[in-house]
Structure 1
Amino acid sequence: MSKNIIKRKKAVAIKYEQQKSIAPVVQAKGTGLIAENILEEAKKHNIPVQEDQALLEILMELELNETIPEELYEVVAEVLAYVYKLHKEENKNVKNTT
């Protein structure tokens, strides 16, 4: 007899404000319906979503408003650079169509 394991969706939102914090902080996190809501809010506000299961699992261990640990700076910097690049390209495309 085999068991069907249903994986619940997980999501973590991080926020980085250079003026307020030395590193990004966990803004929201959750599983199931909460994760769906986080992803829906990201979509609604055109916030890119990066899928990285290993990073997600580590970030899920942090508390809300907790600064990410120093050992994650490099990987989170790569994610943020990717997001900023997408945002910049999106703004450029908007300007070119107006």
Structure 2
Amino acid sequence: MAGKRGEKRKNRRLAAALKYVPEEDKAPRVVASGKGLVAENIIARAREAGLPIQEDPELAAVLCRLELGQEIPPELYEAVARVLAFLVYADGMARKEEPHA
């Protein structure tokens, strides 16, 4: 039984949400993070808002260890930049697919 319990904990989903306002922030900030049901809620709210979602369990694990409101540290800049580039790309693709009125 202990093995299964450990597996469940290991396989729990993690999620983190970042906010970046270049005019106000030096780096993106963690505005939400959690695991399990909290992570599912973060993901659901992002989907409801029409935000693209990038899955990166390793990055999520690191981001979930940061304090809410904390700017990401310099060692995460490159990894987060890749995520932001994906989001910009995904947003551009979604806009191309929208029917024009």
Q: TM-score, normalised by structure 2?
A: 0.88
Matched residue type, 1:71: E
1:2-13 → structure 2 map (5 Å cutoff): 3-4=3-4, 5-6=7-8, 7-13=11-17
Question: Counterpart of 1:71?
Answer: 75
Deviant stretches of 4+, over 2 Å: none
* 1:51 alignment counterpart: 55
Distance 2:36 2:57 in 1: 15
Q: CA RMSD in A?
A: 1.4
Q: Tell me which amino acid in the other structure corresponds to 2:63.
A: L
Tell me, which stretches of 5 or more residues in structure 1 are unaligned?
A: none
Question: Does the Cα contact within 8 Å between 2:14 and 2:57 map onto a contact in 1?
Answer: no
Between the two proteins, the alignment pairs up a number of residues equal to 96
Q: Distance in 2 between matches of 1:44 and 1:2?
A: 37
User: What is the DSSP-based 3-state SS (H/G/I as helix, E as strand, rest coil) of the residue aligned with 2:3?
Assistant: coil
1:90 corresponds to which of 71, 88, 94: 94
- How many percent identity over aligned positions? 41
Gaps of 5+ in 2: none
Is 1:61 equivalent to 2:32 in the alignment?
Answer: no
**Do residues 21 (structure 1) and 54 (structure 2) align?**
no
Q: Structure 1-normalised TM-score?
A: 0.90
